[in-house]
Structure 1
Amino acid sequence: MKTSRGLRSAFVTGATGLLGNNLVRELVARGVSVKALARSMSKGQQQFAGVEDVELVLGDMADVPAFSDALQGCDAVFHTAAFFRDNFKGGSHWEELKRINVDGTQQLIEQAYRAGVRRFIQTSSIAVLNGEPGAPIDETCLRDLADAEDDYYRSKILADQVVLDFLATHPDMHASFVLPGWMWGPADIGPTSSGQFVNDVVLGKLPGLLPGSFSVVDARDVARAQISAAENGQRGERYLAAGRHMTMQELVPLVGKIAGIKTPTRNLPFPLLYLLAAAQELYARISGKPILLSLATVRLMRKEAGRSHFNHAKSEQQLQLKFRPIEQTIADTVAWYRGNDWLPGVPTQ
């Protein structure tokens, strides 16, 4: 077992999520005792059944003081929790985004410091970066707050600023930022947008190929980047872990090939996407169920087209970041859903 240098215990928010659960497992594999924040004890028990050295902490980022005592004795806090998915069901969610992503982050770093924690890893996002379509984007290409038309993007910019402001007044606090792309991977019980996407593709619910490009990354690689940031990252620095640039025309057939199913080949024009998104938002409001496409998603796809080429040189040099093949990520994701009875087995020929 590889030990994590300098880390004996860690606190992980959003522990049952896609990134959080894979981070917890990676920490435990390195001999680190983990306190895992979960909003539901039953969900936490389901996610970490059979995983040793994990102490479940019941709590919510909407009320950080309620679980702050559990921060005592931890060497580092890994903040992966965020309000995200409901923002893409339509309607306005700014109050909740600010309360969880911005105010919650501020309370968390304050309470962590008060508890004696001096290492804080903020899960940022490629949403805080901007650049010209087709040009490589690195950690210096910061998005101006005035350009963040999407409320989620705005909340992530402000959350990062909260951490930087805290560092400015607390010179003995060490914090750094990891910026993931579109995360995929196993044990996505939410599911997140990628897990929902895999299910929709394999179950034949995708009506066609969406426009735009994405940066696809394995959540397990992001987890390793976060641990390396805690051990080797520089104070106040941002580190990209965005992954591989892909278009839907590349991604969907690859999912189909690995899953052993046929996938759509027609491209969906933007006018049709807006109609589909409006219908899906109505369905989401009535059913409360996750959807693949919202008006916010369509607007983002149009605005961010081509802005998914990222330069990882800094993370590769300072964090020794490496990415596993995207084929392995997709195969592991599909296998997990099939193994947990979300999807039918491999079709017979």
Structure 2
Amino acid sequence: MKKKILVTGASGYLGGRLCHALVNRGYSVRAFVRRSSDVSTLPAAGDDFELFSGDVTDYPSLLAAFSGCHIVFHSAALVEPWLPDPSCFFTVNVEGLRNVIQAYKQTDMVEKIVYTSSFFALGPTDGGCVADENQVHHEKFFCTEYERSKVEADKIALQAGSDGVPIVPVYPGVIYGPGKITAGNVFARLIIERFNWRLPGYIGHGNDRYSFSHVDDVVEGHIAAMEGGQPGERYLLTGENASFNDVFDLAAIITKTNKPRFCIPMWVIEAYGWISVLFSRITGKLPLLSPPTVYVLKHQWAYSCEKAKRELGYNPRSLKAGLEEVLPWLKNSGLIKY
């Protein structure tokens, strides 16, 4: 019998590409989306793909979506560095996961839940270390309320695993690649700012390090976690560790354009973030840069994905290979020029 798969957050940047990959592999997919969601980039409805309206914060609709499903990918999340009402992060990211676990307990067909966490749940790697799945967030500070909510949700996921819920948490790095330009694709947004000269220099002095994950590699990692991930085990779906200075330099080499010639001090970027927040409160449009984003940039976020490589066959591409795909896509989409 063909397995039925439920994908929450299906209209998101990662969730949408996951839906396409699953349908292409012959799975029957139910996309759980809000009524207000843009579903134009999702597969066409048919025998192997259906849309199901609801919200992870609306338990009855979530429970109904579980009906008849064997696998659940819980990728729904509120992904923003800043919101006027920070309680929204906990409503969606924490209570939403609790609802998923409760719905599992009230159904009898679900065999596995693959939960999309975040590298933020493990905490910063200050001091030059490269962390693995054994790292536990220190909780001495949080750069963003999103980070705080993912740490809390991670505790819930791990406890559920200890209690026998077949949940596999996966932890992507900074996801990038072609697709929707959303808060979940901040990498592309910064590249756009760079090539449109609204971000004319390097961000700070380049001491930051992130683990960059191509979106299609992360999708493959999710599917591998479904097929071979052990419930209760953590898997980092990260990639090459590099700074945004490295990203800008690589982008200049690939596009044969000039590299930035100066560094923008962090205090300037932070001041711009505060101004952006002020304008956001006036206009209602969320800012690209906000003070929490700057706080993130002041720390290290370098991780190893050796466990996922070893146990899941995860095979992330290099940052250079990923940029060689992303930059032409941005150009052909009319979002940058070079």
TM-score, with structure 1 as normaliser: 0.87
Aligned to 1:65: 60
CA distance in 2 between counterparts of 1:223 and 1:321 reads: 10
The superposition leaves residues 41-75 of structure 1 with CA deviations (integer Å, 9 ceiling, x where unpaired) of 6611x112557632112222221322421211111
Equivalent in 67, 70, 86 of residue 75 of structure 1: 70
Equivalent in 25, 34, 40 of residue 20 of structure 2: 25
Q: For the Cα contact (< 8 Å) 2:62–2:103, is it kept in 1?
A: no
Equivalent in 253, 270, 276 of residue 280 of structure 1: 276
Alpha-carbon spacing, 1:331–1:57, altered in 2? closer, same or farther (3 Å): farther
The superposition leaves residues 58-95 of structure 1 with CA deviations (integer Å, 9 ceiling, x where unpaired) of 2222213224212111111111111122x425x451x1
CA distance in 2 between counterparts of 1:203 and 1:256 reads: 13
Equivalent in 310, 313, 317 of residue 310 of structure 2: 317
Q: For the Cα contact (< 8 Å) 1:201–1:263, is it kept in 2?
A: no
Unaligned runs of 5+ in 2: none
Please report how far the alpha carbon of residue 262 of structure 1 lies from its aligned counterpart in structure 2 after TM superposition: 4.3
CA distance in 2 between counterparts of 1:218 and 1:99 reads: 28
- Tell me, what secondary structure is at the counterpart of 2:59? helix
CA distance in 2 between counterparts of 1:38 and 1:332 reads: 29
Aligned to 1:199: 192
Alpha-carbon spacing, 1:258–1:49, altered in 2? closer, same or farther (3 Å): farther
1:250 equivalenced with 2:246 (yes/no): yes
Q: For the Cα contact (< 8 Å) 1:221–1:324, is it kept in 2?
A: yes
1:226 equivalenced with 2:222 (yes/no): yes
Aligned to 1:133: 127
CA distance in 2 between counterparts of 1:156 and 1:231 reads: 24
- Tell me, what secondary structure is at the counterpart of 1:216? strand
Residues 78-89 of structure 1 aligned to structure 2 (within 5 Å)? 78-85=73-80, 87-88=81-82
1:187 equivalenced with 2:194 (yes/no): no
Alpha-carbon spacing, 1:326–1:63, altered in 2? closer, same or farther (3 Å): same
Aligned to 2:42: 48
CA distance in 1 between counterparts of 2:252 and 2:60 reads: 46
Q: For the Cα contact (< 8 Å) 2:177–2:326, is it kept in 1?
A: yes
CA distance in 1 between counterparts of 2:50 and 2:103 reads: 19
Please report how far the alpha carbon of residue 180 of structure 1 lies from its aligned counterpart in structure 2 after TM superposition: 0.6
CA distance in 2 between counterparts of 1:336 and 1:37 reads: 28
Equivalent in 134, 138, 143 of residue 137 of structure 2: 143
Alpha-carbon spacing, 1:321–1:252, altered in 2? closer, same or farther (3 Å): same
Residues 261-280 of structure 1 aligned to structure 2 (within 5 Å)? 261-262=257-258, 264-280=260-276
Q: For the Cα contact (< 8 Å) 2:252–2:259, is it kept in 1?
A: yes
Q: For the Cα contact (< 8 Å) 1:184–1:194, is it kept in 2?
A: yes
CA distance in 2 between counterparts of 1:7 and 1:182 reads: 33
Q: For the Cα contact (< 8 Å) 1:102–1:155, is it kept in 2?
A: yes
CA RMSD, Structure 1 to Structure 2 (Å): 2.3
- Tell me, what secondary structure is at the counterpart of 2:146? helix
CA distance in 2 between counterparts of 1:102 and 1:13 reads: 14
- Tell me, what secondary structure is at the counterpart of 2:38? helix
Alpha-carbon spacing, 1:340–1:132, altered in 2? closer, same or farther (3 Å): closer
Please report how far the alpha carbon of residue 339 of structure 1 lies from its aligned counterpart in structure 2 after TM superposition: 4.0
Equivalent in 165, 169, 173 of residue 177 of structure 1: 169
Q: For the Cα contact (< 8 Å) 1:41–1:56, is it kept in 2?
A: no
- Tell me, what secondary structure is at the counterpart of 2:72? strand
Alpha-carbon spacing, 1:42–1:271, altered in 2? closer, same or farther (3 Å): closer
Q: For the Cα contact (< 8 Å) 2:82–2:145, is it kept in 1?
A: no
Please report how far the alpha carbon of residue 106 of structure 1 lies from its aligned counterpart in structure 2 after TM superposition: 0.3
CA distance in 2 between counterparts of 1:8 and 1:324 reads: 29
Aligned to 1:153: 147
Please report how far the alpha carbon of residue 340 of structure 1 lies from its aligned counterpart in structure 2 after TM superposition: 4.0
> Which residue identity lines up with residue 154 of structure 1 in the other structure?
R
TM-score, with structure 2 as normaliser: 0.89
> Which residue identity lines up with residue 60 of structure 1 in the other structure?
D
Runs of at least 4 residues of structure 1 off by over 6 A? none
The number of equivalent residue pairs is 331
Q: For the Cα contact (< 8 Å) 1:174–1:236, is it kept in 2?
A: yes
